[in-house]
Copies of this chain bind each other. A is one copy, B any other.
C-alpha cells in the first residue's frame, strides 16, 4: 500500500488460499499481459484463459512464459475441456496440459450434459496430474439448478479432488449465480454457505455490483473470479473499503457514530 490508513481490513498475502482473485484473460497480447502484471501483480492469484481462446491465440507460448515468469498459475477455461471431451479426445487434452506444462485445469459441464459421476471421474483423473478447479452452474440461463443440488454437486466435486469449486457466471455475469439482469441469487449463495466453507468456492463476479455484494457478505478476503484485467485495481479498492460502494463497511463503531453512519 502506498499510504497509511487506519480501519482498512487485512488482506491475505500470496500464495493465498482465501482472498483469491482469478482474472479472465480472453486474448491479451504479450505486452498487455506485462502491463497487467506491472499494475496488479500482487492482486492476481490465478489466470484463466477464457473458454477456448487458447485455441486461436497465436501468442500462446509467449504469453504462458510471461505468466510463468511472474509465478502466476494459468489454466484453460472449462469450455476447452468440454470441447475435447465431447469429441472423445480427453487423452489429447491430458497431453495438452503436459505439453504446455500447466499446473492447473478446469473441469466443467457448462455447455454439455454430463452425469455427475462422470464429471467427478474426470476431476479425480485430472487431479492426479494437475490442481483441479471444477465449475458448477450452466451457461444456459434457462437451466436453473436449485440450491440443495448446488450443495450436492459442490460437495461431491471437492471430494473427487477439486481444489476449489467455481460458481458459474460467464464473462458477462448473467447466469448461474446471477439472474439474467446480473442480480445475485442471494438465497442460493446463502444456502450454499450453510454447508460449504466460503474459501472452498471461487465466485465468478465480473460486475462491480456483484463484487460489492460478495465483499459485503464475506469480507475483504472472499475468492472472486472472472475479473477483467482493467478491474483488478478497482476490485482491490472494493475489498479494502476504499470505493464508494464499500466505503462504510470496514469503519469501526466509533468512526461510524462520529459520522452518523448507519451501522447496518
Q: What separation, in Å, do the CA atoms of A89 and B43 have in the docked complex? A: 26
Residues of B within 8 A of A39 (CB): 27-29, 57-59
Let me know if B240 and A55 touch, CB within 8 A.
Answer: yes
Instruction: Determine if B111 and A56 form an interchain contact, defined as CB atoms under 8 angstroms apart.
Output: no
> C-beta contact mask, A39-77 vs B, less than 8 Å → 1, else 0?
111110000001111111111100000000000000000
Q: Which B residues lie within 8 Å of A2 (CB)?
A: 54-57, 60
CB closest chain-B residue, reference A99:
B3
Q: Is the CB of B255 within 8 A of A27?
A: no
Contact A244–B51 (Cβ < 8 Å): yes
Q: Does A189 contact B (CB under 8 A)?
A: no
Q: Number of A interface residues, CB 8 Å?
A: 70
Asked if residues A113 and B259 are in contact (CB atoms below 8 Å), the reply is yes
Nearest-neighbour CB distance to chain B for A17, whole angstroms, equals: 21
In the complex, the answer to whether A233 meets B56 with C-beta atoms within 8 Å is yes
Q: Which of A79, A92, A247 has the most CB of B within 10 A?
A: A247
- Alpha-carbon distance A227/B155, docked complex (angstroms): 41
Binds B, one of A30-38, A157-165, A178-186: A30-38
With A57-B2, A240-B56 known as contacts, the answer to whether A38 contacts B27 (CB < 8 A) is no
Highest count of chain B CB atoms <10 Å: which of A3, A7, A82, A208: A3
Binary flags per residue of A73-97, CB closer than 8 Å to B gives 1, else 0: 0000001101110111100100010
Q: Would you call A30 and B38 a contact (CB within 8 A)?
A: yes
Tell me which of B30, B83, B112, B260 contacts A5 (CB under 8 A). B83
* Bound form: Cα–Cα A88–B259 in Å: 11
A232 interface residue (CB < 8 Å to B): yes
| A230 near B82: Cβ-Cβ < 8 Å | no
Q: Write out the residue numbers on chain B whose beta carbons fall within 8 Å of the beta carbon of A53.
A: 233-234, 237
- The 8 tightest CB contacts between A and B, nearest first, are A27-B233, A52-B242, A29-B35, A139-B244, A111-B247, A29-B39, A56-B236, A111-B244
